[in-house]
Amino acid sequence: MNIFITKQIPQAGLDLLQEAGITYTIAGKTLPQEELIAQVKQYDALLSAGFVKADAAFLEACSHLKVLSLFSVGYDNVDMAAATRLGIPVGNTPGVLSRATADTAFLLMLAVSRKAFYNYHKILDGKWQEFEPVADLGIELYGKTLGIFGLGKIGYEMAKKCRAAFDMQVIYHNRNPNPEAEKELEARYVSFDELLAQSDVLSVHANFSPETKGLFNKEAFAKMNPGSIFINTARGGLHNESDLKEALDNQTIWGAGLDVTNPEPMNPGNPLLKMPNVCVLPHIGSATVETRNAMAVMAAKNAIAGLKGERLPTVVNAAVYEK
């Protein structure tokens, strides 16, 4: 049994593969799609770390795969219907990155509220001048309203932090109500339009899908209040970046914090990077030693189970077992 791994993953996952008697090859670089397909055809399984476009054409060409293990919680890059039809179980790494990603959302919220990145660069640029009482003012978060779009595990962790640190009121919009959050955090379910209108901080934690693609656009930003902050640590495709810039330029909203951009990587000349009330990070939501180790272990366990013909511990397309 062997597995192709698209990028270096933490040793904790590799050790598990080795203990299970599975040989592995790690790609030395990002491969073009055709070259990747040619490589994967020589292996029983694929562990995808980083973006791999596993569309129907890719999966058809690699239909021999016993398992596709993702080093991520998101799976929007996989044609799940095609994978299920071809009998390829797909595993992801949910849960283990919830706290780290929520930490990043919290970091961005606080950094935006105090224009932290902009003021740091003022020091680097030699523009730290003497004290001015009305210069570079931020906004406080105490008692404000936090709106969560997608109150799952990550959104819950974000809401919990905001309640504890700033006594923020929590509202949310989901496909389904979250009774636990309503009980423990006094979260209140609202419509999407109410979420936009009532949030002082709107933090996005939803899955990327055809329904959510570009959902935060000019029309959505226009419904937000002018003192609000938009945070996205989910997927860049959920927001329209030119519409976001326009909303910031026109002071339709107050600020924005992004760990994900549209597209990725962000062009270093992007004007958002120069705005005082914008903070951008290079998709580091899960980038802690502890979280990445846990992701590697979970991805390895999915791969091992698939190669043994067993049900994946965290399978995305459970319907594959109903065939």
- Judged by DSSP in three states, 70 sits in strand
- Residue 315 CA to residue 158 CA, distance in Å, equals 25
Phi, psi of 120 (to 5 degrees): -60, -45
DSSP state of 93: -
For the question of residue 311 being annotated catalytic, the response is: no
What's the length of the chain? 323
For the question of residue 264 being annotated catalytic, the response is: yes
- Catalytic residue, chosen from 173, 235, 239, 292, is 235
For the question of residue 132 being annotated catalytic, the response is: no
By CB atoms closer than 10 A (0-12, 13-18, 19+), residue 263 is exposed
Peptide bond into 282 cis (omega under 30): no
Contact by Cβ (8 Å): 78, 70: yes
How far from the centroid of its chain's Cα atoms is residue 240's Cα? 16
Contact by Cβ (8 Å): 79, 264: no
Q: Which amino acid is at 105?
A: A
- Catalytic residue, chosen from 99, 114, 283, 292, is 283
Task: Give the CA radius of gyration of the chain.
Answer: 21
- Residue 48 CA to residue 69 CA, distance in Å, equals 6
- Residue 254 CA to residue 277 CA, distance in Å, equals 7
- Catalytic residue, chosen from 35, 264, 290, 310, is 264
Show the tokens assigned to 248.
């910031």
Instruction: Please identify every residue annotated as catalytic.
Output: 235, 264, 283
